[in-house]
Amino acid sequence: MRGAEFAWDAARPRALIMGIVNVTPDSFADGGRYLEPAVAAGHARALAAEGADLLDVGAESTRPGSPGVSADEECARLLPVLERLLDGPPCPVSVDTSKPEVAEAALSLGAHMVNDVTALGGGPDLARVCAAHGAALTVMHMQGTPRTMQVAPHYDDLLGEVRAGLETAVRTAEAAGVAPDSICVDPGIGFGKTVGHNLTLLKRLDALRPLGKPILVGPSRKSFIGALLDQVPPAERLEGTLAACVMAVAAGAHIVRVHDVAAVRRAIRVAEAIRDAAPA
Ligand code: HH2
């Protein structure tokens, strides 16, 4: 990936951990904690030291009901962090944005990947920017927009519709010139999904296997965990996050996007050791 290679052992594949860095005042789990560029860059380096294989830096909350921010505002939050981080990045850096102009600015600074929660819903321009920079791209499924997505999520065929939406995005990305081996797919946990939809998607990640791309999932601290645990707040969703990540890896996830890197890394290592144990 754009000069950054992962140590990948095909015989004993291990899931990669993407650490979340939210440079926002209003993210659902950690809004306002990392708005100061030096604090955000420090947090990113701390996540890398905890064992993150890659980082995902975002400057626009996509929580349910979020109104979104302008490209200028997104760049004003993001670029000072990237300037500090990409001057000797501790690991590859993804940028969580759907705006081509924000992606262009971030990739020009040396970011390695773009994470688009709209699965190219804004058209192919974002993919063209990635292609021009030789960057990787994650496309994530969402039904509706952050403002409306949780009003009444409905699917006639959950797995088929999510897979088809991602397949369309993958085709668009490849047609725009993104390298086929630099595209990840994500079912979009919490993005236009009921609790039941989220659980089924996490259980049935095999439904995305025919796409032939690495599967990324982001269950970290999300509201479906709160709903299963008497509405515990995001700060108390660590155990639920660990369970979701372990089950996702068992179901075929290649990358998990999380806030709690050290804890998730430990949980996944143990789960993978059991999965790979010698037969009796
Ligand atoms: N979830 C969030 C944001 N970006 N990207 C991918 N690929 N997959 C996800 O599941 C995903 C994502 C939402 O989580 P967070 O960034 O913690 O919150 P907020 O959007 O409020 O900043």
Full DSSP string of 63-74: STT-----HHHH
Check 222, 237, 269, 275 and give the catalytic one. Answer: 222
* Residue nearest (by alpha carbon) to ligand 1 atom 8: 218
* Residue nearest (by alpha carbon) to ligand 1 atom 3: 62
Residue 3's pLDDT is: 52
Residue 9's pLDDT is: 54
Highest mean pLDDT out of 11-15, 67-71, 214-218 = 214-218
Residue 148's pLDDT is: 86
Q: Please name the residues in contact with 39: beta carbons below 8 A apart, sequence gap of 6 or more.
A: 33
- How far apart are alpha carbons 70 and 58 in whole angstroms? 13
The residue count for the chain:
280
Give the model confidence (pLDDT) of 79-115 as tens digits: 999 999 999 999 999 999 999 999 999 999 999 999 9
Average pLDDT of the segment spanning 32-39: 92
Which pLDDT band holds residue 246 (cuts at 50, 70, 90)?
A: very high
Is the per-residue pLDDT at 7 higher than 70? no
Give the model confidence (pLDDT) of 214-225 as tens digits: 999 999 999 999
Amino acid at 21: V
Q: Which two tokens stand for residue 6?
A: 């992962």
56: Cα within 13 Å, side-chain hemisphere: 26
Cα(224) to centroid(ligand 1), Å: 14
Q: Which two tokens stand for residue 184?
A: 């990840």
Residue 65's pLDDT is: 84
Q: Is 222 a catalytic residue?
A: yes
Residue 266's pLDDT is: 98
Is the per-residue pLDDT at 127 higher than 80? yes
* Averaged pLDDT of the chain: 94
Q: Which two tokens stand for residue 66?
A: 């979020």
Instruction: Please give the C-alpha separations between residue 272 and each of 195, 239, 255, 277, in angstroms, as whole numbers.
Output: 26, 18, 13, 8
- How far apart are alpha carbons 200 and 68 in whole angstroms? 28
Residue 12's pLDDT is: 57
Is the per-residue pLDDT at 132 higher than 90? yes
Q: Are 40 and 81 in contact (CB under 8 A)?
A: yes
Q: Is 63 a catalytic residue?
A: no
- How far apart are alpha carbons 175 and 128 in whole angstroms? 9
Q: For residue 211, list its beta bridge partners.
A: none
Residue 130's pLDDT is: 98
Average pLDDT of the segment spanning 43-58: 98
Which pLDDT band holds residue 61 (cuts at 50, 70, 90)?
A: very high
Which pLDDT band holds residue 10 (cuts at 50, 70, 90)?
A: low
Is the per-residue pLDDT at 184 higher than 80? yes
- How far apart are alpha carbons 94 and 96 in whole angstroms? 7
> In terms of Cα–Cα distance, which of 118, 62, 91, 136 is closest to 261?
91
pTM: 0.96
Check 163, 237, 257, 265 and give the catalytic one. Answer: 257
